[in-house]
Homo-oligomer: A and B are copies of this chain.
Amino acid sequence: MAENPKKKTIEDIEILPVEKVYPEGFKMSHEPITMELITYDRERSEKIDIIDMSHLCDVMTTPGIKWLNVMGIHDLDVVESLALQFKIHLLAIEDILDNDQRIKIDDYGNYLYFIIKMIYVDKKEKKIFIEQVSCFIFENLLISFQENPGDVWGLVRKNILMNKGKIRKLGTGYLAYSLIDAIVDNYFVVMENLEEDVGMLEKYTLSNPRPIILEKIAIIKNNILTLRHNIAPVGEVIRYLQKAESELIEETLSPYFRDVHDNILRNVDSIKALDERVSGVMDIYDSVMSQNTNQIMKLLTIMSSIFIPLTFIAGVYGMNFKHMPELDSPVGYFIVLGVMALLGVGLLVYFKIRKWI
């Protein structure tokens, strides 16, 4: 909001495009995948960075709730050895590795597996990034896979380590809720960003429509398409968790998931409303455009309609016929000038009556 005063012209409105973190699919990186493991119970909490896979050998049997956060999916060996260790189904592994997956939740009996998308504004890159997050909920273990280090879960980590809120008192279900909640809360930031852009476009389209608006609308339309595609299905994932059909999610968490579900619905409503507003901007742009053409045509018609007959009259008396009686009259010139003036004024009056001027 503080920036608005500076946005003087429509060129200054920068619509951030929504894009996948790695549009081409797999990231060809040679950096090792980083992992962090947070272990906690009512009394203690501990955060360690995993460098060697062997550190994970006894994670399954360690007491307490464990959250293993894997930041990067580009190293096939690491992902596969993790899958092997935690007995994850091959189809789920394939899904993790494909960053173009559909949002969904699958119940594999001893663990739940869901995929949702983290969406955040990157002001430096001038983009809104979509990053795929895959989560496995075991009884005392939650494994999350991100495409990149860096996420929206700072507050969750802090709450665990500083023992704020209830998170240390509850199990992996509440941890999953906290992670989803943080992601969904960030959708609002993205939506507000878009809503502000659309509001700007509405204003400029009415006051000063310019071709560049079409380009900005094209970007926003694609953004809306992408966001709807990536936010709406999250509702189904949460509804599944809310119904607590799996034993891995305690029934007492139902109000929490209901709350996140409400947030998703609010987001979906906002997206729909945005879509309608953008269509409205397009309609108004077209209307304003055709009305401008109309204005221009009016001027052209008025100028032409007045001067073309006058020029014709001048042309007639510019002819070189030997015998043209009017030319010899000493007042002929002034009569013709008078006629011309009358004709011009008459046409002006006519246009005035037609309400063109």
Contact = CB atoms under 8 A, between A and B. Distances in A.
Given A327-B320, A332-B323, A214 B206 contact: yes
A288 interface: yes
Interface string A197-218: 0000010001010010011011
Contact of A312 (B294, B305, B307): B307
Interface in A317-357: 317-324, 326-333, 336-337, 340, 355-356
Given A311-B312, A312-B307, A211 B333 contact: no
Main secondary structure of the interface of A (DSSP, over half): helix
Interface residues of A, number: 85
A303 B308 contact: yes
A284 interface: yes
A169 to B, nearest CB: 14
Given A319-B333, A327-B321, A300 B293 contact: no
Given A106-B258, A289-B287, A300 B299 contact: no
Given A206-B218, A229-B273, A318 B314 contact: yes
B321 A317 contact: yes
A121 to B, nearest CB: 19
Contacts of A280: 218, 221
A25 to B, nearest CB: 11
A44 interface: no
Contacts of A273: 225, 229
A154 interface: no
A221 B278 CA distance: 12
A321 B332 contact: yes
Contact of A284 (B214, B292, B356): B214
Contact of A102 (B215, B269, B318): B269
Given A102-B262, A330-B323, A333-B321, A301 B296 contact: yes
24 contacts: A89-B255, A91-B255, A91-B256, A102-B269, A202-B218, A206-B214, A214-B291, A218-B280, A221-B280, A222-B277, A286-B287, A287-B289, A296-B298, A299-B301, A300-B300, A301-B303, A303-B309, A316-B340, A320-B327, A321-B327, A322-B330, A322-B332, A323-B333, A324-B333
Interface of A: 89, 91, 94, 100-102, 104, 106, 108, 202, 206, 208, 211, 214-215, 217-218, 221-222, 225, 229, 255-256, 258-259, 262, 265-266, 269, 273, 276-277, 280, 282-294, 296-301, 303-305, 307-312, 314-324, 326-333, 336-337, 340, 355-356
Given A89-B255, A315-B318, A322-B332, 16 more contacts: A208-B355, A211-B288, A214-B284, A218-B284, A222-B277, A286-B290, A296-B297, A301-B303, A303-B308, A303-B309, A304-B308, A307-B312, A316-B340, A317-B320, A321-B326, A322-B327
Of all A-B residue pairs in the complex, the 6 with the closest CB atoms, nearest first, are A314-B315, A317-B319, A321-B333, A300-B301, A318-B318, A307-B308
